[in-house]
């Protein structure tokens, strides 16, 4: 069973590769997979505000330089906004988990006079989602700072953060009189030159001059305008490089100025900006699957912005500017749909920043006033003919909302790699309002197993919706059909090498178990044949048709089977294979593998075995390859080691041992008797307290030394005994010296008396 499963890994891999090739042209709206990815990616950042790890995030400063910052800086506010915005679009309620800490940081940033423009901008964005309790006087103080920053701005990012911050304050306060003093002048300052930002009259004059130059075919010098002739923008007048990402930021800033203007902006400025947008879209790039995207083309840039962040910036700027201006931008709806396809084709990003750019951009496309893209998708692109799976189609917005009333038609069906069209008359798919899916009643009768391309068309019911939604033209979607392949007339035979006559032939059941036993010599041949046909009776050629012979020494030989129509056959001439078989006689197990991504009944079957009688190998015959060692023999459990201990020596009887112990105690008893005969007494034992104490300690020390000798005999080692004996010896020297001094003093007194 394990070997069968292992053999099917190749088949499964082939199916996955084939399916991934299909998925490259199929766009699916935002799903629960994105929500799971958002929870995982943002949790992997260590949670939300405030974060304390130094050097964890990389932010962009006003000069677009990458710098690593410690948390507590604007980067954390930016990361928190991206997290909150992503959760908001995906419908994940996580605000309660971070609102307390985030609102506290927002209050500190808005109340601090040292906060940067970027700091204030993202703090206001966070507040727009969390609705923190910010006092009106705090908003007024921030608005005053931002208005002063607008007046003194000299770079695009200064305008972007200050104007964007004012627009956010206007939407978060009850004040209706928050306007830019000279919105039209600021508009001109951003677009044409930073030299005239403090002089509306000079700005209008410069605008007229620029318009005249453009009208006669001239151009605006790079030192004069932040806006470039190709629709891109520069970050400041000192930087000659223009940027597509900067164009998106500029459009957002201009949209903020329009929303903060107390009067209508000059329509010539609006028209010029719209023309710049059209020029910018002239440089848009396209993939083969219909996805459109913008890529950064900075030559001397110190930092490269990828296509995702660049396209996301343009989408934000485009939708923001379209939302505050009247009239159409005259952008082809196909390009808006292509932008949506670009973001959806990314799938599920593995980075939190990329996921935010994807989800945020799709949210703006979902609600934009230019053209709302509709995505045609299939819940399943692999259908089983055996199970009679129905072909279902869904049409949704990029975030998965239901589309307006429309009709989905199947125009054509053709087999991949073939120009033959299987369906010429269009069929309308039936709409199921309960599940919001369109279902095809019946597949074309000629659809068999394999890969097909279905061409769909969507038609909006309401003519007014044609200018509101982008549905594109015809949508081509590859679909994979699987089924049970019929296996017939399978047999294995041993043939005579000369005449080709059948010597032994046996039928085999490739759907069941087989125990075929054959024998052959080097002058004979082995033939294996069978037929494969599709559910419609057509010839079927699988990805894999392999015959494997495995010798009893584990040496394997692989042979690919050929086909002619439905018939698959292989003939092994053992005379020509003796060298490849390494002249190894003996038993060979025969195994057949047939598999394909569309074959639901792919199999790996043991057919049986064949006993081969091959000639003896010559002297210089090739040797079979060394077989890899079994990992279980190398890394598996080792054999148990049985220890053999020495047989204990024979001990003497217990009575003899006790007798010997008694004999060793006799000298000690003799010692005690000798003391008695000598008349040992305690008459010289000191009577005064201090000498008596030293005398007692001296005798106890001697007793301790004797006890130490006993312990050494019983259990102590030599080093422990010597260590203890050293301490006891020093103790005995001290107390012995004191008591002997006392005895000597007493003796001298008696003699003198």
Q: Are strands 603-613 and 586-595 parallel, antiparallel or unpaired?
A: antiparallel
The reported pLDDT for the residue numbered 75 is: 53
Are the C-beta atoms of 372 and 320 separated by less than 8 Å? no
Confidence (pTM): 0.72
Question: End-to-end alpha-carbon separation of the chain, Å?
Answer: 114
Residue 608 half-sphere exposure toward CB, CA atoms < 13 A: 19
The reported pLDDT for the residue numbered 569 is: 96
**405-423 per-residue burial string, b: 16 or more CB within 10 A, e: under 16:** ebebebbbbbbeeeeeebb
Distance CA 182, CA 189 (A): 10
If 0-12 CB within 10 Å is exposed, 13-18 middle and 19+ buried, where does residue 508 land? buried
**Token pair for 512:** 């069941």
Are the C-beta atoms of 429 and 395 separated by less than 8 Å? no
Among 242, 265, 78, 244, smallest CA distance to 187 is for 265
Residue with tokens 């490089």: 241
CA geometry: angle at 521 spanning 516 and 524, to 5°? 85
Are the C-beta atoms of 582 and 624 separated by less than 8 Å? yes
Residues whose CB falls within 8 Å of the CB of residue 305, separated by 6 or more in sequence, listed in order = 243, 245, 296, 298
Which residues of the chain have a pLDDT value below 50?
A: 1-24, 46-74, 193-224, 301-302
The CB density around residue 280, as the number of other CB atoms within 10 Å, is 22
Are the C-beta atoms of 244 and 296 separated by less than 8 Å? yes
The reported pLDDT for the residue numbered 668 is: 81
324-341 per-position pLDDT tens digit: 998 888 899 999 999 999
597-636 per-position pLDDT tens digit: 999 999 999 999 999 999 999 988 899 988 887 777 778 7
């Amino acid at each position: 069973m394990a070997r069968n499963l292992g053999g099917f890994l190749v088949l499964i891999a082939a199916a996955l590769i084939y399916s991934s090739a299909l998925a490259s042209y199929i766009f699916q709206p935002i799903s629960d997979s994105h929500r799971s990815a958002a929870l995982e990616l943002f949790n992997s950042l260590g949670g939300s505000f405030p974060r304390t790890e130094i050097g964890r995030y990389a932010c962009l400063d006003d000069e677009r330089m990458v710098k690593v910052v410690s948390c507590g800086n604007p980067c954390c506010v930016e990361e928190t906004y991206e997290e909150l915005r992503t959760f908001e679009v995906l419908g994940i309620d996580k605000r309660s988990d971070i609102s307390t800490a985030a609102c506290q940081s927002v209050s500190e940033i808005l109340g601090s006079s040292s906060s940067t423009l970027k700091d204030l901008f993202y703090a206001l964005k966070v507040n727009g989602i969390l609705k923190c309790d910010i006092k009106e006087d705090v908003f007024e103080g921030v608005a005053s700072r931002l208005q002063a920053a607008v007046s003194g701005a000299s770079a695009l990012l200064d305008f972007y953060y200050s104007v964007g911050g004012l627009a956010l304050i206007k939407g978060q306060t009850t004040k209706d009189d928050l306007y830019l003093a000279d919105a039209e002048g600021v508009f001109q300052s951003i677009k044409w030159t930073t030299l005239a930002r403090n002089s509306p009259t000079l700005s209008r004059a410069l605008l007229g001059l620029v318009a005249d130059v453009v009208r006669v075919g001239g151009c605006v010098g790079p030192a004069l305008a932040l806006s470039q002739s190709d629709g891109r923008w520069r970050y400041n007048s000192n930087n000659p490089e223009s940027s597509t990402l900067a164009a998106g930021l500029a459009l957002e800033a201009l949209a903020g100025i329009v929303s903060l203007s107390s009067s209508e902006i000059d329509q010539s400025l609006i028209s010029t900006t719209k023309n710049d947008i059209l020029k910018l879209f002239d440089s848009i790039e396209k993939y083969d699957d219909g996805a459109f995207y913008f890529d950064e083309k900075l030559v001397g840039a110190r930092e490269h912005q990828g296509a995702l962040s660049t396209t996301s910036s343009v989408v934000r700027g485009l939708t923001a500017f379209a939302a505050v201006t009247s009239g159409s931008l005259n952008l082809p709806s196909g390009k808006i749909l292509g932008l949506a396809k670009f973001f959806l084709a990314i799938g599920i990003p593995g980075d939190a920043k990329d996921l935010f750019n994807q989800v945020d951009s799709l949210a703006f496309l979902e609600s934009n006033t230019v053209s709302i893209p509709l995505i045609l998708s299939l819940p399943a692109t692999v259908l089983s003919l055996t199970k009679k799976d129905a072909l279902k189609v869904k049409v949704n917005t990029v975030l998965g909302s239901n589309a307006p009333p429309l009709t989905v038609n199947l125009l054509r069906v053709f087999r991949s790699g073939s120009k033959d069209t299987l369906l010429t008359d269009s069929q309308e798919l039936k709409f199921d309002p309960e599940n919001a899916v369109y279902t095809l009643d019946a597949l074309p009768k000629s659809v068999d197993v394999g890969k097909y391309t279905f061409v769909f068309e969507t038609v909006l019911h309401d003519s007014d919706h044609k200018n509101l939604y982008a549905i594109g033209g015809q949508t081509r979607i590859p679909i994979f059909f699987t089924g049970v392949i019929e296996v017939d007339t399978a047999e294995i035979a041993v043939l005579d090498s000369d005449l080709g006559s059948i010597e032994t032939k046996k039928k085999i059941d490739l759907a069941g178990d087989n125990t075929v036993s054959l024998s052959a010599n080097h002058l004979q041949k082995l033939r294996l044949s069978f037929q494969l046909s599709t559910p419609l009776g057509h010839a079927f050629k699988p990805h894999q048709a392999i015959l494997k012979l495995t010798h009893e020494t584990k040496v394997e030989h692989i042979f690919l089977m050929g086909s002619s129509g439905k018939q698959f056959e292989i003939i092994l001439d053992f005379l020509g294979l003796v060298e490849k078989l390494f002249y190894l006689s003996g038993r060979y197990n025969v195994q057949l593998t047939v598999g394909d991504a569309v074959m639901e009944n792919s199999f790996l079957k043991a057919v049986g075995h064949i006993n081969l009688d091959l000639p003896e190998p010559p002297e210089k015959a090739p040797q079979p390859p060394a077989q890899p060692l079994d990992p279980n023999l190398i890394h598996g459990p080792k054999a148990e080691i049985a220890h053999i201990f020495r047989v204990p020596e024979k001990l003497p009887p217990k009575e003899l041992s006790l007798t010997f112990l008694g004999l060793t105690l006799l000298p000690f008893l003799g010692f005690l008797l000798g003391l008695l005969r000598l008349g040992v007494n305690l008459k010289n034992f000191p009577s005064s307290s201090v000498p008596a104490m030293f005398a007692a300690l001296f005798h106890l020390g001697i007793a301790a030394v004797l006890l130490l000798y006993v312990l050494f005999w019983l259990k102590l080692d030599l080093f422990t005994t010597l260590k203890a004996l050293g301490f006891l010896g020093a103790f005995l020297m001290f107390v012995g010296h004191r008591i002997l001094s006392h005895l000597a003093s007493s003796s001298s007194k008696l003699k003198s008396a």
